Amino acid sequence: MLKGSKESGSRRIRIGVIGATSYVAKAAVIPAILESHQAELVALASRSDTRRLPHKRGVRIFDSYEELMQAEEVDAVYIPIPNSLHAEAAKFALANGKHVLCEKPMAISEQEVRELAEFANANNKILMEAYMTHYHPRNRELMGVVTARHAVKVRHVHAGFTGTLEREDDFRWRPEMGGGSLRDVGVYLISPILESAGQLPESVYGQAIYSASGVDESFAGLLSFKNGMSATIFSSFISGEGQYLRFTLEKGRISLVNAFTPTLDDNLFEVSNLNGKLQTFKTKPANSYLEMVNHFCDLANNRVKPLRPLTTTLSVQRIVDHLLLSAQHRRVEYLSPISQLDGTNSS
């Protein structure tokens, strides 16, 4: 980690991208790195056709992920490869002195996330999950409202993210690659629920519809909390496009469309009271991917504390694991508290 030297606060973080032909890398994260004044794109790697790589001018191209993650000119690595490969790649990058921005889910089990977090802390490197929604100003304002517990009591949250995954060769259809709709979009659904509750659920119950390959093509879940709050989630690879987030409050409600991939135009939300009167909250327009990249660079430059610490990533993964177990065994699963992580990147 860059400490409070003359470089701290002024140096651009030199980022290399492995799996650079992935859709999210090409469509969102690489453009955000290029737009950021705090980051510099210095390297790209692909195990497929390197001729398909975007933005090659002035950027070193690698055929090998490992060579990119060992390159001296790379300070940090962005990892958008299949889910089951996240933990191995992140650990290799961390071991070679790189900060890591890893696509969600960071790993495919709570134990893998814990091991990565402890390894990052031991190596004094930043490890951050690329859950970009959290960094959008609308989301920050919304969470400020629903977590104002002295004024607002959240009774129920309903979150859904659905779409049609038509490509049969997509890794998300493959169980050995960490596929399934819950792992793909579960972070989006569970994160705002967890933040609004301020605690882990006491129990979860999940129900899945499985594809021929064995992954959950649709998943419904119920989360129950000790404080009386409840939440329901629904994800799907075989439904029409949709994403929504609804908070039922003790004295009102909030409902968002385009809840998890906000655009520049998604900069307001409304809170309705018992009489239907609306209070409008408006925030600045922003690119959530750019906000995420800038925060990652701030962390690497030791300027700020994490807005979304690794304990949150760990908590979300624990809930995903228990929901999958619940669906598999058709029973309610009970959760124990998360034990504390050590290190500056954890809190």
* Residues 36-51: tens digit of each pLDDT: 999 999 999 988 776 6
In this predicted model, what pLDDT tens digit does every residue of 109-163 receive, in sequence order? 999 999 999 999 999 999 999 999 999 999 999 999 999 977 789 999 999 999 9
Domain CATH number, residue 125:
3.40.50.720
SS3 state at 51 = helix
**Which residues, other chains included, contact 182 with Cβ-Cβ below 8 Å and sequence gap of 6+?**
206, 208, 216, 219, 221, 235, 320, 323, 324
Determine the Cα–Cα distance for residues 254 and 276; give it in Å rounded to an integer. 11
Same domain? 153 vs 82:
no
In this predicted model, what pLDDT tens digit does every residue of 179-216 receive, in sequence order? 999 999 999 999 999 999 999 999 999 999 999 999 99
Is 22 a domain residue?
yes
Same domain? 201 vs 264:
yes
Is 293 a domain residue?
no
Same domain? 317 vs 185:
yes
CB 159 within 8 A of CB 244: yes
pTM for this entry: 0.94
Same domain? 217 vs 150:
yes
Determine the Cα–Cα distance for residues 173 and 195; give it in Å rounded to an integer. 29
CB 204 within 8 A of CB 222: yes
Same domain? 78 vs 157:
no
Is 304 a domain residue?
no
Is 56 a domain residue?
yes
Same domain? 246 vs 181:
yes
Q: Which residues constitute the domain of residue 195? A: 137-285+309-334
Same domain? 127 vs 258:
no
Domain CATH number, residue 165:
3.30.360.10
Same domain? 147 vs 118:
no
Same domain? 161 vs 258:
yes
Sheet holding 13-18, edge to edge: 60-62, 39-45, 13-18, 76-79, 99-103, 127-130
